Amino acid sequence: MSTTEILGFSGSIFIGISLGLIGGGGSILTLPVLVYLLGINPVLSTAYSLFVVGSTSLVGSFSYMRKDLVNYRAAAVFAVPSFITVFLTRKFLVPAIPESLFTVAGFEVTKDIGVMIFFALVMLAASYSMIKSKKGATDGESGELQFNYPLIALEGAAVGILTGIVGAGGGFLIIPALVLLARLPMKMAVGTSLLIIAVKSLIGFLGDVSNLTVDWPFLLEFTALSIVGIFVGAYLSKFIAGEKLKVAFGWFVLAMGVYIISREILF
């Protein structure tokens, strides 16, 4: 096993740790690990990312269910439109994207490059969400905001499309929506988000089964290591302040987003 492969499989553990610590961020790491360290095609990597993040988040959500920190009503309102859009995106939209998108000044933007650049832009948005101050938004029980069903459902559909295109769980969008629109406390928002990410990602992966050839032994091994990581992350969360960790992780995501854009355009 080469050094990059060792780093790639080690990265799978870190994916789980990030999910266990802050309830998100796993998908932000999965695609770069699969593409740059393990050399897997970007489109196939988005499918693998859905399975890895979905399975790991599902395991992580069980502990929140036991503690009664999952709001199933909010999850249903957000998740149903998200399930529909992620499945349709993976089943029909992604396969329909042409291999060559366009050419600028002699530089051909292919489907693979387009997916990675779009993913990097999502990373930049995620990093802003993690780094910015959330004063007044950390406790979903404060304020006069109401349980806004239409907006929750609309954002669910939008996150489903995003998940379908880049294989990202979208926790950085789901958690603020649950806190602000459903007025959930932060810990309950994290638990509910993990459940939504899990089911949504796995449904999205089902849309890929008939379109792609899946290396199941590799995928199951990678996922198993990620699941180990989420237990480690859940344990470490008892000793590490989640908000400080999220800010630090946000800066890391920002650097990764800039790196991906520069790598895809310049190299």
Q: Is residue 3's pLDDT more than 60?
A: yes
Q: List pLDDT tens digits, range 208-247.
A: 777 788 899 999 999 999 999 989 888 887 787 666 777 7
What is the Cα 171 distance to its own chain's centre? 6
Confidence (pLDDT) at 23 = 65
Q: How confident is the model at residue 137 (pLDDT cuts 50, 70, 90)?
A: very low
State the average pLDDT for the chain: 82
Confidence (pLDDT) at 167 = 66
Rounded to two decimals, what is the model's pTM? 0.75
Q: How confident is the model at residue 17 (pLDDT cuts 50, 70, 90)?
A: confident
Q: How confident is the model at residue 136 (pLDDT cuts 50, 70, 90)?
A: very low
Q: List pLDDT tens digits, range 62-99.
A: 988 998 989 998 888 888 898 889 888 888 888 888 98
Whose tokens are 């960790």? That residue is 245
Radius of gyration (C-alpha) of the chain in whole angstroms = 18
Confidence (pLDDT) at 222 = 95
Neighbours of 32 (CB within 10 A): 22
Q: In the chain, how long is the greatest CA-to-CA distance?
A: 57
Confidence (pLDDT) at 145 = 40
Q: List pLDDT tens digits, range 140-196.
A: 444 444 567 788 888 888 888 887 887 666 676 777 778 777 778 877 888 888 898
Confidence (pLDDT) at 216 = 94
Q: How confident is the model at residue 18 (pLDDT cuts 50, 70, 90)?
A: confident
Q: Is residue 31's pLDDT more than 70?
A: yes
Question: What residues contact 110, with CB distance under 8 A and at least 6 apart?
Answer: 99, 100, 101
Q: Is residue 251's pLDDT more than 90?
A: no
Of 156, 149, 137, 127, the C-alpha closest to 252 is 127
Confidence (pLDDT) at 38 = 93
Q: Is residue 248's pLDDT more than 60?
A: yes
